Amino acid sequence: MPELPEVETIVQGLKEKIAGQRISRVTLNLPKIVRSDLKEFLSSLPGQVIERVWRRGKFIIIDLSRDHSLIVHLGMTGQLTYVSSAAPLLKYTHLTLQLENNDLHQLRYRDLRQFGYIRLVDSGQLKGVESLAKLGPEPFELTLEQFIHLIGAHRGRIKPLLLDQGVIAGIGNIYADEILYRAQIHPRRPADSLTPLHLKKIYHAMREVLVAAIEKRGSSVQDYVTSDGEAGEYQRLHQVYHRQGQPCFRCGALIAREKLGGRSTHYCPRCQRYIVYTMKGARI
């Protein structure tokens, strides 16, 4: 699933290309991806100007000129690309927005597994949309003190906590693994056993990993592509994710993989030792 760095990369790419352009035509090949009134969706979009493209968590928000906004969630395999109108229409392209720049370009939504969706809402109602309203703060908006208070108040294991979109928005399986490796914290470590020093390490690792991943235009480990249809590059820098059985770059131990909270979890058993803790770091 595209996570914060992938979605941010798509948003930054689209900002440069589609802001200010008018939608001239809508072609919908799979109605079920639209999670709002279908008739209104098809009739309202033509003629509207794209005013702003932004991100909230893993959601792409496209603000339109008539006080409408499109909410796009890419699901597991969704792609949102800006392409030439003459480009071949790839299989699983479910929505095409023709842009009124001499009809030279289109915005296309493609999704193999069809878990993603698009929704048209009134812009003034965005804050009340449940999927957005329940999101926690953005990682880059948190101060260190806020992060320590936020995470330290929970009793669950640290990795599932980082994945909880209601706690922090945008972090998924790839980057939770990479963040905890950089911070040298075992993914099963209870959050309420972490000292302020541990939380400081996770906080800085979170910011460093996400910034580096955005700079490399995200991780292409499955179907993710940028708004240009190109692969990201951060997967080449993964330290643990999908590296099970390979040596740790730091210590040489073999990277382990196990299930945690129903998710595949990758870590170094030596750099991220698992010790049973009581509250705030005391060992049992």
Question: Which residues have a catalytic role annotated?
Answer: 2-3, 58, 263
CA 138 to each of CA 9, 11, 80, 260: distance values in angstroms, whole numbers, following the listed order: 16, 15, 22, 24
Amino acid at 260: L
Tell me phi and psi for residue 71, to 5 degrees. Answer: -105, 125
Tokens 């900002």: give the residue. 15
Query: Residue 115: is it exposed, middle or buried by C-beta count within 10 angstroms (0-12/13-18/19+)?
Result: middle
Q: How far is CA 262 from CA 179, 220, 259, 274, in A?
A: 19, 22, 6, 19
What separation in angstroms does the CA of 24 have from each of 27, 45, 212?
A: 10, 8, 37
Residue with tokens 């395999």: 77
- CA–CA dist 29, 114 (Å, integer): 12
Strands of 78-84's sheet in order across: 23-28, 93-99, 105-111, 78-84
Beta bridge partners of 93: 110
Helix (H, G, I), strand (E, B) or coil at 69: strand
Task: Confirm if 24 and 100 have CB atoms less than 8 A apart.
Answer: yes
